Amino acid sequence: QKEVEQDPGPLSVPEGAIVSLNCTYSNSAFQYFMWYRQYSRKGPELLMYTYSSGNKEDGRFTAQVDKSSKYISLFIRDSQPSDSATYLCATSQGGSTLGRLYFGRGTQLTVWP
């Protein structure tokens, strides 16, 4: 079993829709949770970085972590065609292993005008 599971999609939504992206993880020791966006032929771009459970909002993006169910979510409000990319969730245990991230396989999102 992979440490982080993510539905690869693809997910296709109309412009303006609310997008929900999700991951589950298996190791309860994971403390740090991230979402990255990766455009084709580019490196991943850090969108959200959270510690432990709770919500974090940044503009149109909201990240949620529920450690009791080992569930990570990213919501995108008022989605735009420029949001079309692959979204990757990632986790880390922290401490001396903070530099080791475990990634989901990524969800490919298309927002059509």
Partner 1 sequence: KAGVTQTPRYLIKTRGQQVTLSCSPISGHRSVSWYQQTPGQGLQFLFEYFSETQRNKGNFPGRFSGRQFSNSRSEMNVSTLELGDSALYLCASSVSGEQYFGPGTRLTVT
Contact residues toward partner 1 (CB under 8 A) are: 32, 34, 36, 42-46, 49, 88, 90, 92, 94, 96-106
Rama region for 9: left / alpha / beta (φ>0; ψ in -120 to 50; rest): left
Nearer to partner 1, 60 or 105 (CB): 105
Nearer to partner 1, 79 or 85 (CB): 85
Beta strands in 19-106 (DSSP E): 19-25, 32-38, 45-51, 54-58, 61-66, 71-76, 85-92, 102-103
SS3 call for 27: coil
Q: How far is the CB of 78 from partner 1 (least distance, A)?
A: 25
Q: How far is the CB of 47 from partner 1 (least distance, A)?
A: 11
Nearer to partner 1, 79 or 86 (CB): 86
Q: How far is the CB of 31 from partner 1 (least distance, A)?
A: 10
Nearer to partner 1, 79 or 91 (CB): 91
Q: How far is it, in rounded angstroms, from Cα 30 to Cα 42?
A: 27
Q: How far is the CB of 103 from partner 1 (least distance, A)?
A: 4
Distances (CA, A) of 74 to 20, 23, 49, 96: 6, 9, 11, 27
